[in-house]
Amino acid sequence: METIEAVQKEIIEEFSMFDDWMQRYEYMIELGKSLPLIASEFKSDDYIIKGCQSKVWVHADLQGTKLIFTADSDAIITKGIIAILIRAYSNQHPDEILNANTDFIDKIGLKEHLSPTRANGLVSMIKQMKMYALAFKTQLN
Amino acid sequence: MIDVKKIRKDFPILERQVNGYPLVYFDNAATSQTPIQVIDTIVDYYKNYNANIHRGVHSLSQEATDAYEAARQKIQSHFNAAHPYEIIFTSGTTHSINIIASGYCELLKAGDELLVSALEHHSNIVPWQMLCERTGAILKVIPMDEQGVLILDELDKLLSNKTKLVFVNHVSNALGTVNPIAEIIEKTHAVGAEVLVDGAQASPHIQADFQSLNVDYYVTSAHKLCGPTGVGMLYGKQAALEKLPPYQGGGEMIAEVTFEKTTYAGLPHKFEAGTPNISGGIAFGAALDYMNSIGMENIAAYEEKLLVYGTKELMKIPGLKIYGEAVHKTAVISFNVGDIHPYDIGSILDKMGIAVRTGHHCAQPIMDFYKIPGTVRASFSFYNTFEEIDLMVVALNRAITMLQ
């Protein structure tokens, strides 16, 4: 199993191959379209992340000692961002998730999605994933 | 016709690039850009006569007071209010509405009714909901139709001797609908109630005449009409303002203070506690001077052409639906394309230097009415051009290709 750091490095390398923003966004949109669907019972207000311009649902499940995330959004670019986050953080131990940093977002040219005016979408998603990690960590101990 | 090329030179910000593209600023309904004449007014104030007003005997204070009061008179004359003291400086539209809501709190009793239009901005809904919770008054809604036009027959049914206040925006921020406020005021006065008009979206485009409208309260923000943020206006008829209790205690708003009792200053100072946004107030006046130097009628005529052209060009895009199809509209086009999320379109347009607003535009009830998460909103101003609309359409087509 790869570490979060290794996955992040891979993502940075992938994005570095693009020449301009349009290719980056086209790739994100592709990622968004291929994001596996979240089970419909989790697409409810209980799992919604507040403070996003687009709706985002995130669910987490512990399998063994690894946390598995599934998520969805009604906006495709947001789905692309989710796909990237899931690739980095899903199927990892809660401790790893809690300790992971988020610098790679900046390095793949998506810094603007971290700004508060994007209605905190990305920031809230990362926070929510870390909250899940914290909650499941206590189950493991 | 106005000389747009010349006008654009007054706005330094319009020369900048965004994400490597020339800026196309179509978020004018959120805030307008500031011409150099207004920026210079602010700089001049801080460089040459920054002082607190209404208090000092020294020359700087006198000059600042004179400039501030001259701005009040410019606002009075622009909107044809009967007296300068009927113009209260506030921090903006939301503040103005809260002053009235807070004052009404003392005047209302359980069972009194307030009417709000279905087209309101959250800032014109929330204070009244809070007020109703405290007083037991009842909030009722004047509905709108599919075109985004208020149904006046329904207003007739809602108005009664229980009605105390009707609040309606002059122009809807989400859809651009121009509401028939003269008719609404007349109908409301017939049952003995008052009308508060939110003019934030209208005042950059339409020069309201307060006396001929016979409106009780009218509010707006300077930053919507080429002025700075953080300053706005509350107009009230003298009698209407006098019956409202003061909003905040503090300096400036008192006549005499003893530990037993304080008597309040008269209008407008009763509602202007504390040191105001002095440079902002003066710049508000300068912004009106600037708009008037171009001419409000010229502005409206040119923006109407932008609206017609923009609507025509956008309608050519397959699957594009425009929300708000009132006959009387300001230069606002709210739209969606197929089932593409407005956030996705807005994000990609931004990458191409085009600033539009996406989301619910602080008017969730309208979005609920249309059962949509939000819209993309392009709002034009007199410094925008037909070429910029073309750029938006090209960018939009590219965005759609990417997103579909």
Which region, left, alpha or beta, applies to residue B374 given φ > 0 means left and ψ of -120 to 50 means alpha? Answer: left
Nearest CA in chain A to B347: A77
Inter-chain contact A119–B341, Cβ cutoff 8 Å?
A: no
Residue B180 has pLDDT above 90, yes or no: yes
Q: What is the Cα Rg of chain B in Å? A: 22
> What is the reported pLDDT for B62?
94
Residue B11 has pLDDT above 90, yes or no: yes
Which amino acid does the sequence have at B384? Answer: N
Residue B126 has pLDDT above 60, yes or no: yes
Contacts of B382 (CB under 8 A, 6+ apart): B2, B4, B7, B294, B298, B299, B302, B303
> What is the reported pLDDT for A41?
84
- Percent of chain A residues past pLDDT 70, beyond the cut: 91
Which of B19, B341, B350 minimises the CB distance to A54? B341
Which region, left, alpha or beta, applies to residue B332 given φ > 0 means left and ψ of -120 to 50 means alpha? Answer: beta
Distance from CA of B397 to the nearest CA of A (A): 14
Full residue range of the structural domain in which residue A98 is found? 4-140
pLDDT digits (tens, 9 = 90+) for B66-83: 999 999 999 999 999 999
**Weakest-pLDDT range from A130-134, B253-257, B390-394:** B253-257
What number is the ipTM of this complex?
A: 0.86
**Weakest-pLDDT range from A12-16, A86-90, A101-105, B334-338:** A101-105
Helix orientation angle between B386-403 and A21-33, rounded to the nearest 10 degrees: 40
Residues of B in contact with A75 (CB under 8 A): 341, 343-344
Q: Specify the 3-state DSSP secondary structure of A11.
A: helix
Residue B90 has pLDDT above 80, yes or no: yes
Q: Which of B361, B403, B404 is most worth mutating to test chain A (most A CB atoms within 10 A of its CB)?
A: B403
> What is the reported pLDDT for B376?
95
Residues of A in contact with B373 (CB under 8 A): 54-55, 74
Which CATH number goes with the domain that contains A131? 3.90.1010.10
> What is the reported pLDDT for B252?
63
> What is the reported pLDDT for B216?
98
Inter-chain contact B373–A77, Cβ cutoff 8 Å?
A: no
Distance from CA of B345 to the nearest CA of A (A): 9
Report phi then psi at B387, rounded to 5. Answer: -60, -35
Mean pLDDT of B189-195: 97
Mean pLDDT of B113-134: 85
Q: What is the Cα Rg of chain A in Å? A: 14
pLDDT classification of B223: cutoffs 50, 70, 90: very high
> What is the reported pLDDT for A106?
82
Residue A52 has pLDDT above 90, yes or no: no
Residues of B in CB contact (< 8 Å) with A are: 19, 340-341, 343-344, 347-348, 350-351, 358-359, 373-374, 402-403
pLDDT digits (tens, 9 = 90+) for A53-105: 788 899 999 999 999 999 998 889 889 988 999 999 999 999 999 999 888 88
Inter-chain contact B341–A29, Cβ cutoff 8 Å?
A: no
Contact B167, B116 (CB under 8 A): yes
CB-count exposure of residue B189 (10 Å: 0-12, 13-18, 19+)? middle
Contact B252, B272 (CB under 8 A): yes
Distance from CA of A53 to the nearest CA of B (A): 6
pLDDT classification of B55: cutoffs 50, 70, 90: confident
> What is the reported pLDDT for A19?
85
Q: Specify the 3-state DSSP secondary structure of A106.
A: helix
Mean pLDDT of B267-284: 93
**Weakest-pLDDT range from A43-47, B31-35, B325-329:** A43-47
Residues of B in contact with A119 (CB under 8 A): 359
- Percent of chain B residues past pLDDT 90, beyond the cut: 78
What does pTM read for this prediction?
0.91
Inter-chain contact A22–B340, Cβ cutoff 8 Å?
A: no
* CA B328/CA A1 separation, integer angstroms: 63
Residues of A in contact with B402 (CB under 8 A): 22, 25-26, 29
**Active-site entry in A52, A60, A67, A88:** A52
CB-count exposure of residue A141 (10 Å: 0-12, 13-18, 19+)? exposed
Residue B311 has pLDDT above 60, yes or no: yes
> What is the reported pLDDT for B251?
65
> What is the reported pLDDT for A37?
76
Which of B341, B348, B403 minimises the CB distance to A74? B341
> What is the reported pLDDT for B304?
97
Residues of A in contact with B355 (CB under 8 A): none
Which of B343, B351, B358 minimises the CB distance to A21? B351
The bridge status of strand B24-25 relative to strand B17-18 is: unpaired
Domain B4-26+296-403 has CATH 3.90.1150.10: yes
Report phi then psi at B138, rounded to 5. Answer: -115, 135
Domain map of chain B by residue range? 4-26+296-403, 39-292
* CA B116/CA B105 separation, integer angstroms: 16
Residues of A in contact with B344 (CB under 8 A): 54, 75-78
* CA B73/CA B147 separation, integer angstroms: 38
- Percent of chain B residues past pLDDT 70, beyond the cut: 97
Distance from CA of A20 to the nearest CA of B (A): 11
pLDDT classification of A110: cutoffs 50, 70, 90: confident
Question: Which helix (H) or strand (E) element contains residue A73?
Answer: strand A66-73
Inter-chain contact A21–B19, Cβ cutoff 8 Å?
A: yes
Contacts of B81 (CB under 8 A, 6+ apart): B75, B87, B210, B211, B235
Contact B324, B147 (CB under 8 A): yes
When divided into structural domains, chain A yields a total of 1
Which of A22, A75, A112 minimises the CB distance to B343? A75
- Which one has a higher pLDDT value, A54 or B92? B92
Please say if B132 is a catalytic residue: no
Q: CA B197: distance to chain centroid? A: 10
Which of B19, B344, B374 minimises the CB distance to A77? B344
* CA B283/CA B275 separation, integer angstroms: 16
Inter-chain contact A29–B402, Cβ cutoff 8 Å?
A: yes
* CA B156/CA B99 separation, integer angstroms: 28
Six-digit token string for B35: 């011409």
Distance from CA of A127 to the nearest CA of B (A): 21
Q: Which of A22, A76, A82 is most worth mutating to test chain B (most B CB atoms within 10 A of its CB)?
A: A76
Domain B39-292 has CATH 3.30.230.10: no
